[in-house]
Amino acid sequence: MLMTGTEYIESLRKLNTRVYMFGEKIENWVDHPMIKPSINCLAVTYDLAQDPEYADLMTAKSSITGEKINRFAHLHQSSEDLKKKVKMQRLCGQKTASCFQRCVGMDAFNAVFSTTFEIDEKYGTHYHENFVKYLKYIQENDLVVDGAMTDPKGDRALAPHQQKDPDLFLRIKEVREDGIIVRGAKCHQTGSINSHEHLIMPTIAMKEEDKAYAVSFAVESDAEGVYMIYGRQSCDTRKMEENADVDLGNKQFGGQEALVVFDDVFVPNERVFLCGEYDFAGMMVERFAGYHRQSYGGCKVGVGDVIIGAAALAADYNGAAKASHVKDKIIEMTHLNETLYCCGIACSTEGYATKAGNYQIDLLLANVCKQNVTRYPYEIVRLAEDIAGGLMVTMPSEKDFKSDTVVGKEGETIGDICNKYFAAAPTCSTEDRMRILRLLENICLGSSAVGYRTESLHGAGSPQAQRIMIARQGNISEKKELAKAIAGIK
């Protein structure tokens, strides 16, 4: 059954998720002003699935049950499915101008599904059966799952088993007859607080010495021993200001990251999908990373659409829309944004079936997609800030614009003065101009930046991670043979 956005929010209230912020436990985290916008973002993924206009993108037929499900819980069955995924992500980015936090779980589903099939094929385990039953439960209940891969890592020069503190990579502490005990943490976890479940994967390829760290499993967000520490964002406490509105830029939506701690958490056997088979850790990581790097050709493009629109409005409001250099900058922003989209569609079009039956993207093109995402959004933001002007970061507060404190010799208030001196083109009000500049500040520099600017660099792996994969997938030896053939070298 497909939930509505309201039903999703209400379902979170039934959880006993342990959330900490500013050194204190947050009892009612669902309604906390700093967390609420990120929950609203997720609610959009539910409401769009209810809208007939977007049903083809937002829903799919389950390959497990045959029932209609939210596409965020779907196993890709074709290249067309992979393309619809990217288009869905662009749509969600356009509707929220932020991170809607559901992509990581979807990408984890597809990576774990295909990898567990091949683990069972080699070792005769039951991980794939476990996972299919788990995903069926997720689909039937329309749940949000946080896909968790990134470990704290400690000293990057050392392997997991070499770390001074063994908990710096999440590990199997104990294997019991009925399950396992795990300990450690996952950091930078997108949407973790707002998820019903967590699907854990290893963070790197491993050797035999690290097999205690080769683990994949699922737990409820409020499982005993699991707790989360909310990650700060720039300008985040603005959301806690009384009657905050204009200053927020994107008042309704926002992203969310957290440190998720596993303090000796018990995982029953039926929720274990990898337990010491270290030779498959790399496969799971590589497949997940490929899917998630494809994702950025959709979600970042949707947010980019909003940035381009906001920059164009800022030009209108500043009276500069007809300037040739402004027109050219908006053209360049559009070119860069659509190039990112092209990469997302291309790696989807070149998708292929795995042994398990779901579809994998072209790994080389997916990594090229993400490599571009580490660069182009920064240029898009630079151009948007150029068009917007310095007022984007120097304007007084919303309270100043609404202040009735008298300061002028003719009885003008602070509000009168602000509205007078920050007026621009007669086609807009001063408040409308402030709103669009605050939106750009929010996306380019503020609390939505976690869903666009900085995440474009580090999300789904930092630039060097893609370059390693591009080198591995680039098939230079074959290219050498092509050159030899043309040059006549035997």
Alpha-carbon distance of 307 to 443, in angstroms, equals: 8
Q: Which residues of 6-45 are buried (b: 16+ CB within 10 A; e: fewer)?
A: eebbebbeebebbbbbeeeebeebbebebbbbbbbbbbbb
Handedness of CA 333, 338, 341, 342 (dihedral sign): negative
Alpha-carbon distance of 34 to 31, in angstroms, equals: 9
Residue type, 220: E
Closest CA to 423 of 317, 289, 329, 313: 317
SS3 content of the chain, % helix, strand, coil (to 5): 55, 15, 30
- Residue count of the chain: 490
Supply the Cα-derived Rg of the chain in whole angstroms.
Answer: 24
Alpha-carbon distance of 446 to 439, in angstroms, equals: 9
Task: Point out the residues that are catalytic.
Answer: 99, 103, 190, 257, 292, 296, 299, 455
**Cβ count near 96 (within 10 Å):** 29
Angle of the 103-123 helix axis to the 281-318 helix axis, nearest 10: 170
Please, what is the end-to-end C-alpha distance for the chain in angstroms?
A: 63
Q: Where are the beta strands (DSSP E) in 335-376?
A: 352-353, 359-360
For residue 432, give the H/E element and its range: helix 430-444
DSSP state of 241: S
Which of helix, strand or coil describes residue 55?
helix
CA angle 301, 100, 81 (to 5 degrees): 65
Please name the residue that has the structure tokens 């029953």: 268
